[in-house]
Amino acid sequence: MTQMKEPRIEFELTGMAHGGSAIGRHNGKAIFVPYAIAGETIAARIVEDKGNFARGELAEVITPSENRVEPPCRHFGKCGGCNWQHIRYEAQLEFKRQIVFDQLSRIGGIKDAVVHPTIASPDEWRYRSHVNFHRTHNGQLGFVMTDDRTVMAIEECHIIRPELGELFGKFNQQGVKPEHKRVRLQVGSESQEILAASNVGDETGSEETRTILGSGKVHYTIKGHVFEVTAGSFFQVNLPQAETLVNLVLERLALQGTEHVLDLYSGVGLFTAFLAPQARKVTAIESYPPAVNDAKVNLAKFTNIKLLQGTAEQMLTRFLQGHFDAAVIDPPRTGMKPAALEELMKCQPSKLVYVSCDPATLGRDTKKLVGSGYQLVDVQPVDMFPQTYHIESVATFIR
C-alpha cells in the first residue's frame, strides 16, 4: 500500500523564530520551516500540526532570499550541530538581534527594548575550542541528527578549531570504546594543549568524567589572565567572544572600587577575576564542585573574593541575607530558578548585568525583574555561535 504524502503548500516567510526556523502564515496559521529564510517564498509539507501552529518540511525554495548561500558542510541539514550555514553571516547577526527583541517583547512584555546590533564573531568558522561528540553504534564519533534521537557519524566539522578536527579524525580511525558514550574534545589557548574526556556511566545510572587523553585540564588566556579548566567544567567555546563578554560586563557595571559585587553562577571565575580588581569585595557562587576547585586556582592571587559552593538559591537563602551594590548573573540555558531570582531581588543590587545564552529565558526573567522594580536599560547580543541560531546577550538592569 502506497503512503500518501502531505500536499504541498506555498507561502511567504516573514521572519526567523527562536529555534532557528523561518516562520510564515498559510490560511492564518503560523508555520515554522527549518532551513528556510525570512523573505523567501517556499513550498512546504506539514509534518506536525499543533492546532494553532504547525511545523513544515521545506520542499522547494520558489523565490530564494538574497541572503541564501551554499552551506560548506556535507552533513548540513542532517546533523543537528548547525542550522544556519545556509544564511549569509551578516544576515545571521541581524536575525539574532530580531529574535532577542521578539522574545523580550512576547515573553518579557518589553515592547520598546533597546537591543543593539549583534557583535560579530571574529571567526565565522573554526571557532569552537571544545565540542561534545556522541558515540555511534560502530564506535565512531558523531552528532545527534535533527530528529534529536539518532547519532550520525560525521567526517568533517567546520565550526571546531583545526586541532580538534585532527584529533576527531584520529579517534575515528582508532574507534571509540563502548563505555565512552559521550566524548568531549577540548583545546587550550595554546594549540598543543589537548584534552579528551568521556562521561562514563555505571550500573546505578550515575556518571563520572574520565580523562581519555591529556592531563585532565586545559588553560585559556583571556585578557592576559590564565584560567585552568578541568574536564567537565564550563568555559565559553568562542575565546575572542569570551573576552568581549568580560569587556561588556565591566563596561556596564562601571565599578568605582567601593562596591560589593555578587557573581552568580560564577563557574571557573571568568568574570570574578576581572571584577575583583575593580571592586571592594566580590562574592562568587557556583554549584559544580570541579568548577569551584578550578576557581580556587584561578582566583588564588585575590584577597577580596568570597567563593561559595552551592546552588544560587541555597547560598542566597542561607548565607547572604544582605545587600549587594551590583550583581553579575550568568545562568545556564534554563535561566534562573524562581527561588534564586526571588532571593536575588531581596539583595537589592542597584545594578544588575544578566549574561544570557537563551533569549526565551532572558525574556521570562526580565519580566520578573521589571515586575520587582528593575528597569531594563539595554541588551547587547554577542554572537558566540556562528552558523547556529544560538545567541549570547548581555542585559543591563538598574533600580
- The vertex-110 CA angle with 388 and 13, nearest 5°, equals 45
Mean pLDDT, to the nearest integer, of 214-227? 96
pLDDT category, 96, cuts 50, 70, 90? very high
d(CA 52, CA 54): 7
Q: Which of 193, 223, 253 is the last residue of a domain?
A: 223
Over residues 194-212, the pLDDT tens digits come to 999 987 655 545 567 889 9
255 with 275: CB under 8 angstroms? Answer: yes
Residues composing the chain: 399
Same domain, yes or no: 188 and 159: yes
In this predicted structure, the answer to whether residue 382 has a pLDDT above a threshold of 50 is yes
Q: What is the pLDDT of residue 207?
A: 67
d(CA 179, CA 116): 46
Domain count across the chain: 3
Please indicate, yes or no, if residue 37 is contained in any of the structural domains.
yes
Mean pLDDT, the chain, rounded, equals 94
Q: What is the pLDDT of residue 298?
A: 99
Please indicate, yes or no, if residue 78 is contained in any of the structural domains.
no
pLDDT category, 5, cuts 50, 70, 90? low
Same domain, yes or no: 111 and 206: no
Q: Return the CATH number at 24.
A: 2.40.50.140
In this predicted structure, the answer to whether residue 99 has a pLDDT above a threshold of 60 is yes
Same domain, yes or no: 110 and 242: yes
Please indicate, yes or no, if residue 180 is contained in any of the structural domains.
yes
CB proximity list for 4: less than 8 A, separation 6 or greater: none
Same domain, yes or no: 27 and 105: no
Same domain, yes or no: 321 and 216: no
In this predicted structure, the answer to whether residue 6 has a pLDDT above a threshold of 80 is no
Please indicate, yes or no, if residue 82 is contained in any of the structural domains.
no
List, by residue number, the catalytic residues: 357
Note down the domain range covering 32: 9-63
Same domain, yes or no: 251 and 389: yes
Q: Which of 223, 258, 291 is the last residue of a domain?
A: 223
Please indicate, yes or no, if residue 176 is contained in any of the structural domains.
yes
| 104-118, 193-207, 355-369: least confident range | 193-207
Helix extents (H) in the chain? 89-106, 162-174, 239-253, 272-275, 289-298, 312-318, 338-347, 359-371
Cell of 284: 562568587
Q: Exposed, middle or buried: residue 202 (CB in 10 Å: 0-12, 13-18, 19+)?
A: exposed
Number of C-alpha atoms within 13 angstroms, CB side, residue 95? 27
Same domain, yes or no: 258 and 347: yes
Q: Exposed, middle or buried: residue 301 (CB in 10 Å: 0-12, 13-18, 19+)?
A: exposed
pLDDT category, 2, cuts 50, 70, 90? very low
In this predicted structure, the answer to whether residue 47 has a pLDDT above a threshold of 50 is yes
Q: What is the pLDDT of residue 200?
A: 67
Q: Return the CATH number at 113.
A: 3.40.50.150
d(CA 22, CA 295): 41
**b/e map 73-105, b = 16+ CB within 10 Å:** bebbbebbbbbbbbbebebbbebbbbbbbbbbe
Please indicate, yes or no, if residue 77 is contained in any of the structural domains.
no
Please indicate, yes or no, if residue 81 is contained in any of the structural domains.
no
Same domain, yes or no: 197 and 99: no
d(CA 113, CA 105): 8
Q: Taking the C-alpha atoms of 96, 363, 56 and 133 in order, what is their torsion angle to the nearest 10 degrees?
A: 70
Please indicate, yes or no, if residue 79 is contained in any of the structural domains.
no
Over residues 234-281, the pLDDT tens digits come to 999 999 999 999 999 999 999 999 999 999 999 999 999 999 999 999
Same domain, yes or no: 249 and 356: yes
Q: What is the pLDDT of residue 179?
A: 85
Sheet holding 326-329, edge to edge: 305-309, 281-286, 260-264, 326-329, 351-356, 392-398, 375-382
d(CA 212, CA 148): 26
Q: What is the pLDDT of residue 178?
A: 86
Same domain, yes or no: 34 and 155: no
Q: What is the pLDDT of residue 320?
A: 66
Percent of the chain with pLDDT over 90: 84
Packed helices 359-371 and 338-347: angle between N→C axes, nearest 10 degrees:
40
Cell of 222: 583571556
Over residues 283-323, the pLDDT tens digits come to 999 999 999 999 999 999 999 999 999 999 999 888 666 78
209 with 231: CB under 8 angstroms? Answer: yes
